[in-house]
Amino acid sequence: MIELSHVDYDYPGGVPALRDISLSLDKGHCYAVQGPNGCGKSTLFRIILGLAFPDAGTYRFGGEEITARSLRSEAFARDFHRRIGFVFQDPEAQLFCSTVEDELLFGPAQTDLPRDEALARTEDYLSLFGLREIRKRAPFTLSGGEKKRVALASALILEPEVLILDEPLAGLDEDSQELMADCIRRARSQDRLILCASHDRAFTGRTADMVIRMGKNHRLIGMEPVGGDQLSEDGKELR
Ligand SMILES: Nc1ncnc2c1ncn2[C@@H]1O[C@H](COP(=O)(O)OP(=O)(O)OP(=O)(O)O)[C@@H](O)[C@H]1O
Ligand SMILES: [Mg+2]
């Protein structure tokens, strides 16, 4: 589903973020991306979301190469963006409607879903995510955890094939963490592909089945099943 081949990425000014990343990711799995601060996890997600493009190497989604040029086709870009949902590390950056209910309705209203179905689905997701009481509130007035729940509901309402979660637990209380874990497990059982960067090993142990480990040098250390042998930075097994 997602294929990266020898991807390099630098930020302007030559700040290295990704070095020679090759990955092949399939549906029905939840991949936990682990590595120290600044190793390139969020940058990897920006590439997968088509918000940044490799300086070298290639990125394919469902067999199609994703480049600045391929996303210039409006129909192709719309289809691609609809297939990937995400919750950013800072959800503030992705909420822009004037009420919570509009935020949820925004995605379905952009698709060819009939209006009454889009409204019905919005009601379902407001209930599912415990957002009914705050449905008329402006997203920017919500607490951090509430914002995250709205962002997650807005991502899942489109039932995307791929779900990207960058530090999904930050700011969440126990109930909301459980809701997040349930969402991931359900998405996995529905044959979606989930990518999740979290520093919480207990959480990834409960939700992910594969671990992708990145090193300080912005390179891949390896990918292994959850519960398998842990590799250290230099690739040696830790016991
Ligand atoms: N907008 C930017 N401009 C310049 N450099 C950036 C930018 N965003 C990130 N970087 C740099 O790129 C590198 C990778 O950053 P990235 O945010 O991908 O790391 P991360 O693994 O997500 O870290 P964290 O665990 O702190 O979220 C870091 O050295 C960072 O300082
Ligand atoms: Mg990050």
Q: What is the pLDDT of residues 64-104, one digit of tens each?
A: 999 999 999 999 998 999 899 999 888 888 899 999 999 99
Those residues whose beta carbon sits under 5 angstroms from the ion ligand 2 are 41-42
* Residue 75 located in a structural domain: yes
Q: Is residue 67 part of a domain?
A: yes
State pLDDT tens for residues 117-143: 999 999 999 999 999 999 999 999 999
**Owning domain of residue 130:** 2-225
* Residue at 237 is within a domain: no
- The answer, yes or no, to whether any atom of ligand 1 lies below 6 A from the CB of 39, is yes
Q: Model's pTM, two decimal places?
A: 0.90
Q: Is the CB of 21 within 6 Å of ligand 1?
A: no
Looking at residue 35, the DSSP 8-state letter turns out to be: -
Residue 233 located in a structural domain: no
Identify the DSSP state of 71: G
- Residue 232 in any domain: the answer is no
Per DSSP bridges, beta strands 56-61 and 64-65 are antiparallel
What total of structural domains would you count in the chain?
A: 1
Pocket of ligand 1 contains residue 15 by CB under 6 Å = yes
Looking at residue 229, its pLDDT comes to: 52
The answer to the question of residue 206 being in a domain is yes
CA 236 to chain centre: 29
Q: What is the pLDDT along the chain (239 residues), one digit of tens a residue?
A: 999 999 999 999 999 999 999 999 999 999 999 999 999 999 999 999 999 999 999 999 999 999 999 999 999 998 999 899 999 888 888 899 999 999 999 999 888 889 999 999 999 999 999 999 999 999 999 998 899 999 999 999 998 999 999 998 888 888 888 888 998 999 999 999 999 998 888 888 889 999 999 999 999 999 999 876 554 444 444 43
> The domain spanning residue 122 has which CATH number?
3.40.50.300
230 within a domain of the structure (yes/no)? no
CA nearest ligand 1 atom 18, residue: 40
Number of Cβ atoms within 10 Å of the Cβ of 145: 17
Domain annotation covers residue 238: no
CB 101 within 8 A of CB 124: no
Closest-CA residue to 49 (of 96, 90, 92, 86): 86
Q: Cα of 18 to ligand 1 centre, how many Å?
A: 10
